[in-house]
Amino acid sequence: MSQKTLEGKVGLVFGVANKRSIAWGIAKAWADAGARLIFNYQGERLKENVEELAATFGSETPVAACDVTRDEDIGKFFEFVRGKTGRVDLLLHSVAFAPKEALEGNFLDTSREAFRIAHDISAYSLVAVSRAAVPLMNAGGSIVTMSYYGAAKVVPHYNVMGVAKAALEASVRYLA
């Protein structure tokens, strides 16, 4: 019989887009280990996919909207979490985005707006959701985020995402 190492734990999952998402693989592993999960989606376009995937853990698996670029949405999402469970043990931040044009051509041509968007969504959102989650981590907890080799080494066509992932990694060090 396998040990359920996360039995009784509550995990929040940010970043599932579809069944190929890294976040989805981690969510399945956490559920297999006994965690109870709460999912979010960013935007109506992803709602149906996330609801369908979350339902594989049971029709009562909570799912709610949360635009990680809006503090009010983050606040509403965590009020939803408080209403469902009152605590958090695990937080998965698997969120990243950069405008397509910022991933093509020369990094030097990155616009200020593309740079801001990539950093807000891919790096600052970890700080914002962590700030909201930590008060619910009464018994401690774990915060996990996803980075990539392009944070440390130049990778063709990764451009502003590499810089945003480097900022994400630095944010992790400062949050710790």
- List active site positions: 148, 158
Phi, psi angle pair for 39, to nearest 5°: -105, 155
CA-CA distance, 126 to 114, in Å (whole number)? Answer: 18
3-state secondary structure (DSSP) of residue 65:
strand
CA 81 to mean position of chain CA atoms = 15
DSSP 96: -
- Separation CA 12–CA 28 (nearest Å): 12
CA distance 171 to 109: 25
